[in-house]
C-alpha cells in the first residue's frame, strides 16, 4: 500500500475557523491581562509607583516607544487601559479586524514598554502572536466583517500563505530554541531538572509541594519535556503520518502547559501558549465538531427583513454569522406578498420556521433556539418573563430604525470583497520571520553571533525580542522571598511588607509563592533582588522604597507615618537531591522615608 504524504498546503496552512478561534482567544487573553494589570495600575504604571517614567526611560533602547510614557498620572493610564480593552472587544467580534489587530499590537507593545521589569515569557509570546496576526485574515469567519461581505458565503475554509507558515513555525521555534538552550547535564543526562524547578518554593504551587516527593516521576518528566521540545517541533510538520503526529503533538504540548499551570505560579504563560498551540487545529476537527452539533430543526428557516432598511439587513446577516447558521437565507420581506403584508401589519421582522411565523423579540428567541451552539440561551429567552420587556425593546429599536441605519452605514459599511493579504503582506511576513530567526539563533551560545546596533534598534521598535530561556540552561538554584522590617515615626516596629504592627517574621512561610501578591510583583521583586548582586546603583530598591513610604500613608492617612525600614530577602538554596536546604538572610536595602 502506498504511503501518502501530506501536501505543503496541508502542513503549513491554517483553517479559517481556527484563525477565528485564535482571534477570539487572543482578544480574551488581552482582556484578562488588562484586568489583572489594572489591579496594580498605580503601583506599576504611574509616577507614584515603583517605576517612575524617568527611571524606566533610562533602561530603554533609543528606538523603544510607548504611549504610556506620555503621562505619569493614573487617569491617563486608565484611559489607555480602557482604550486597549475596547479595541480588544472589537477584535473579538471581528469589527474592522485588521485595524483592531494592529491597534491591539501597538497598545500591548506600548503597555509592556511602560514597565519592563514586570515582564515575563508570556508577554514576549503574546506580543509576537499579535504581530503575526496582523498578516492574517482573522476576520474571515465568525466576525462582523465576514457578515458584511456582499459576496456569498464560501464553504472552503483552507488557507495557506507565507504568513500561516510563519505563525506555525514561530510557535514551534519557541520550544525548539528553548530545548537547544537547555545545555546543562541536568537536562540531557541526569534528568534532575524538574526536581530543581519544583524546589523553587517562591515559584511553585501547593500541589507541586506535594508532588515533588515522587522523585522517580520527576526524572521521567525531565526527559519528557526535553525530548518533546526538541523533537516535537520537527515531527509536527512531518508530511508522513501528518494527521496523527499533528494531533498527538498538539495535545502533548497543550497538556504540558496545563501541567505547568498546575505546578508553577507563572501567570498566564501556559494559557497564551495553549492559544498558540491551537493554531495547529486542522479543518477536519472542525468538520467533526460540526457534525456533532445537534440539528435544532429539520424545517426550512428564513429571516425576512424590510427592504430599504440597511440596519435590518445587517442585523440579520450578523445574527446568521454569530449564531452559526451559515445556510439560513436572509431575504427582503417584500419578495413574498404574504410575508411583506405581515411585516407591515406587525411592524416587525419575520422569522419563518417551516409554516410557523415569529415576530419581534419572540423571533429572536426562536432563532437563537435554532442555533446549534447557543440554543440553551434561546430556550431561556423564550420564557414569557423576557417576552414583554423584549418586545418593548424591539419596538423602541423599530421606532429608531432610521437613526440606527445612519449609524450602521457609518460604522458597519457593506464590503464588496474580503480584505486582501497579498504579495506585499506575505513578503513582509517572510522578512520578519527571517529577522526573528536570526534573533533566536543569536541567543545560542554556540552561534557566536553579535547583533549590530541597527538590528537591535529595529527589534526594539517592533517588539520582536525573543529569548526562550525558561529553566535554561538549567533552573534557578535559589528561591528568594522578601521581608521588610520598619519603624514608625513614633518608634513602633512594623512588618512593612504585610502591613502589620510588630517585628517582621523571618520564618519560612508554609507556601512561599503566596507571599507575593501576584506574578508581576514576583517578577519585579526578583529583578530587584538580582540587581542587588550587581555593583551598580540600586535603582529598583530605591524606587520600591519610595513607593513603600508613600503607600503606607496612602493606605490609611490617619496612621502614623513610616519612618524607615530595611528590605531583606530570605534566599533558600536548592541542594542536590537528598541534601538539606539552607536559607541565607540578605540585607538588600535600607531606606529613610524622611531622607
Average pLDDT over residues 434-457: 92
Q: Which of the two residues, 446 and 433, has the higher pLDDT score?
A: 433
Q: What distance in Å separates the CA atoms of residue 85 and residue 32, rounded to the nearest whole number?
A: 9
Q: Which residues contact 142 (CB under 8 A, 6 or more apart)?
A: 17, 20, 24, 94, 321, 322, 324
| Per-residue pLDDT tens digits for 240-265 | 999 999 999 999 999 999 999 999 99
| Per-residue pLDDT tens digits for 511-569 | 999 999 999 999 999 999 999 999 889 999 999 999 999 999 887 666 789 999 999 99
Average pLDDT over residues 92-121: 97
| Per-residue pLDDT tens digits for 331-384 | 999 999 999 999 998 889 999 999 899 999 999 999 999 999 898 888 888 777
> Which of 558, 586, 583, 561 has the alpha carbon at shortest distance from 572?
583
The confidence score (pLDDT) of residue 215 equals 87
pLDDT category, 448, cuts 50, 70, 90?
confident
Q: 1 pLDDT exceeds 70?
A: no
- CA angle (381, 386, 387) in 5-degree steps: 95
CB–CB of 571/478 below 8 Å?
yes
The confidence score (pLDDT) of residue 2 equals 61
The confidence score (pLDDT) of residue 153 equals 63
Q: 296 pLDDT exceeds 90?
A: no
CB–CB of 316/303 below 8 Å?
yes
> Which of 555, 557, 588, 558 has the alpha carbon at shortest distance from 571?
588
Q: What is the mean pLDDT of the chain?
A: 93
The confidence score (pLDDT) of residue 463 equals 94
pLDDT category, 152, cuts 50, 70, 90?
low
CB–CB of 272/25 below 8 Å?
no
- What is the value of pTM for the model shown? 0.94
Q: Grid coordinates in use for 479?
A: 528561591
Q: Grid coordinates in use for 526?
A: 526578583
Percent of the chain exceeding pLDDT 90 equals 78
DSSP at 412: S
CB–CB of 495/502 below 8 Å?
yes
> Which of 119, 117, 122 has the alpha carbon at shortest distance from 51?
117
| Per-residue pLDDT tens digits for 476-501 | 999 999 999 999 999 999 999 998 99
Average pLDDT over residues 27-51: 97
Q: Sort strands 350-353 and 582-592 into parallel, antiparallel or unpaired.
A: unpaired
- Burial annotation 140-149 (CB, 10 A radius, 16+ → b, else e): bbbbbbbbbb
Residue 152: what are its φ and ψ, rounded to 5°?
Answer: -60, 160
Amino acid at each position: 500500500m502506498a504511503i501518502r504524504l501530506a501536501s505543503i498546503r496541508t502542513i503549513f496552512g491554517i483553517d479559517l475557523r481556527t484563525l477565528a478561534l485564535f482571534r477570539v482567544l487572543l482578544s480574551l487573553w488581552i482582556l484578562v491581562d488588562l484586568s489583572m494589570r489594572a489591579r496594580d495600575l498605580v503601583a506599576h504604571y504611574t509616577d507614584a509607583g515603583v517605576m517612575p517614567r524617568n527611571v524606566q526611560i533610562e533602561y530603554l533602547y533609543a528606538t523603544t516607544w510607548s504611549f504610556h510614557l506620555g503621562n505619569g498620572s493614573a487617569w491617563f493610564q486608565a484611559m489607555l487601559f480602557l482604550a486597549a480593552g475596547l479595541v480588544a472587544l472589537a477584535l473579538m467580534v471581528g469589527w474592522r479586524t485588521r485595524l483592531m489587530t494592529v491597534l491591539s499590537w501597538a497598545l500591548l507593545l506600548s503597555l509592556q514598554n511602560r514597565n519592563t521589569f514586570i515582564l515575563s515569557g508570556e508577554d514576549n509570546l503574546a506580543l509576537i502572536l499579535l504581530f503575526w496576526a496582523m498578516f492574517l485574515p482573522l476576520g474571515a469567519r465568525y466576525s462582523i466583517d465576514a457578515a458584511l461581505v456582499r459576496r456569498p458565503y464560501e464553504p472552503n475554509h483552507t488557507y495557506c500563505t507565507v504568513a500561516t507558515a510563519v505563525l506555525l513555525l514561530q510557535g514551534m521555534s519557541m520550544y525548539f530554541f528553548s530545548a537547544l538552550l537547555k545545555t546543562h547535564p541536568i537536562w540531557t543526562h541526569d534528568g534532575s531538572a524538574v526536581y530543581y524547578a519544583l524546589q523553587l518554593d517562591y515559584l511553585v504551587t501547593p500541589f507541586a509541594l506535594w508532588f515533588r516527593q515522587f522523585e522517580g516521576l520527576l526524572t521521567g518528566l525531565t526527559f519528557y519535556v526535553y525530548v518533546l521540545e526538541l523533537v516535537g517541533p520537527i515531527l509536527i510538520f512531518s508530511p508522513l503520518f501528518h494527521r496523527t503526529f499533528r494531533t498527538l503533538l498538539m495535545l502533548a504540548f497543550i497538556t504540558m502547559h496545563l501541567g505547568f499551570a498546575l505546578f508553577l505560579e507563572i501567570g498566564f504563560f501556559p494559557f497564551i501558549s495553549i492559544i498558540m498551540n491551537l493554531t495547529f487545529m486542522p479543518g477536519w476537527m472542525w468538520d467533526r465538531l460540526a457534525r456533532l452539533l445537534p440539528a435544532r430543526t429539520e424545517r426550512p428557516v428564513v429571516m425576512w427583513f424590510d427592504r430599504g432598511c440597511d440596519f435590518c439587513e445587517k442585523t440579520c446577516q450578523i445574527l446568521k454569522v454569530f449564531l452559526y447558521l451559515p445556510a439560513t437565507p436572509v431575504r427582503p420581506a417584500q419578495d413574498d406578498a404574504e410575508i411583506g403584508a405581515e411585516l407591515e401589519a406587525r411592524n416587525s421582522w419575520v422569522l419563518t420556521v417551516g409554516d410557523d411565523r415569529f415576530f419581534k423579540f419572540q423571533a429572536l428567541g426562536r432563532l437563537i433556539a435554532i442555533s446549534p451552539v447557543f440554543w440553551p440561551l434561546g430556550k431561556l429567552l423564550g420564557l414569557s418573563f423576557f417576552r414583554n420587556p423584549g418586545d418593548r425593546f424591539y419596538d423602541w429599536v423599530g421606532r429608531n430604525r432610521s437613526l440606527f441605519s445612519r449609524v450602521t452605514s457609518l460604522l458597519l459599511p457593506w464590503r464588496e470583497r474580503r480584505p486582501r493579504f497579498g504579495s506585499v503582506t506575505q513578503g513582509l511576513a517572510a522578512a520578519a520571520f527571517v529577522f526573528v530567526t536570526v534573533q533566536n539563533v543569536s541567543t545560542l551560545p554556540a552561534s557566536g553571533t553579535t547583533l549590530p546596533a541597527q538590528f537591535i534598534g529595529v527589534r526594539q521598535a517592533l517588539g520582536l525580542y525573543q529569548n526562550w530561556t525558561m529553566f535554561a540552561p538549567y533552573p534557578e538554584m535559589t528561591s528568594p522571598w522578601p521581608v521588610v522590617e520598619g519603624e514608625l515615626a513614633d518608634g513602633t516596629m512594623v512588618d512593612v511588607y504585610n502591613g502589620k504592627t510588630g517585628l517582621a517574621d523571618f520564618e519560612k512561610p508554609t507556601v512561599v509563592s503566596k507571599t507575593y501578591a501576584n506574578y508581576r510583583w514576583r517578577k519585579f521583586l526578583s529583578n530587584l533582588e538580582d540587581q542587588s548582586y550587581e555593583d551598580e546603583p540600586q535603582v529598583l530598591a530605591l524606587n520600591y522604597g519610595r513607593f513603600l513610604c508613600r503607600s503606607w500613608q496612602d493606605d490609611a492617612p490617619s496612621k502614623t507615618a513610616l519612618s524607615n525600614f530595611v528590605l531583606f530577602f530570605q534566599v533558600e538554596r536548592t541542594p542536590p537531591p537528598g541534601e538539606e536546604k539552607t536559607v541565607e538572610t540578605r540585607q538588600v536595602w535600607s531606606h529613610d522615608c524622611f531622607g
